Amino acid sequence: MLRSWILLSLLLLSSTGTFAQMERTMYQVFEVDSAQTVQFEVAGEYQVEEWAGNSILVETTVQLWDANKEILGHLIKEGRYDLATDSTSDPNPRQVRIYTKHIDRKPLKRRDGEKCLEIAVTKIFVPDTFYISEDRQRLTRKGG
């Protein structure tokens, strides 16, 4: 009887560990060859850094606590952290707007009603052929 109780206790303790911290990094690329200006409308905190590439690279790292990998996978699949551009209709846009697709990110809750802590950090790498505004919301092509 004692042995069964210990085994059951160990199983219960190990099942509580299924809700842990998950982390995933996603990348998106935006071509800006013909753009003279780029406007950012990105939710939350983000960093803008120069790089030697000729496109804009967005790196988003998401950390989710008290959740499982299925929850994080679902959020990524539905595009919760994706950025988009509205300049895709013109093959050579002079102005590009890059924005957060899901601007209203409601707090996450598990099925049992408990909240999950979510941290999404976005880094935007922009070509060194652009000036970056002080507020980091606008790029202007150098020499243009």
- Residue-wise pLDDT for 44-85, tens only, equals 889 999 999 999 999 999 999 888 788 889 899 999 999 999
Q: Give the pLDDT of residue 13.
A: 45
Contact between 108 and 118 (Cβ < 8 Å): yes
The reply to whether 37 falls in a domain is yes
Contact between 62 and 120 (Cβ < 8 Å): yes
The reply to whether 119 falls in a domain is yes
Task: Write out the residue range of the structural domain in which residue 67 sits.
Answer: 20-141
Instruction: State pTM to two decimals.
Output: 0.79
The reply to whether 13 falls in a domain is no
The reply to whether 41 falls in a domain is yes
Rg (CA), the chain: 21
Strands in 138-141's sheet, in edge-to-edge order, are: 83-85, 95-100, 37-41, 138-141, 130-132
Q: Give the pLDDT of residue 5.
A: 45
The reply to whether 68 falls in a domain is yes
Q: Give the pLDDT of residue 109.
A: 80
The reply to whether 6 falls in a domain is no
Token pair recorded at residue 4? 């069964």
The reply to whether 101 falls in a domain is yes
Q: Is the pLDDT of residue 18 over 80?
A: no
Q: First CA to last CA across the chain, in angstroms? A: 81
Number of domains making up the chain: 1
Token pair recorded at residue 90? 């013109």
Pairing mode, if any, of strands 83-85 and 138-141? unpaired
The reply to whether 78 falls in a domain is yes
**Which pLDDT tens digit goes with each residue over 89-136?**
676 778 999 999 888 778 888 778 888 889 999 999 999 999 999 999
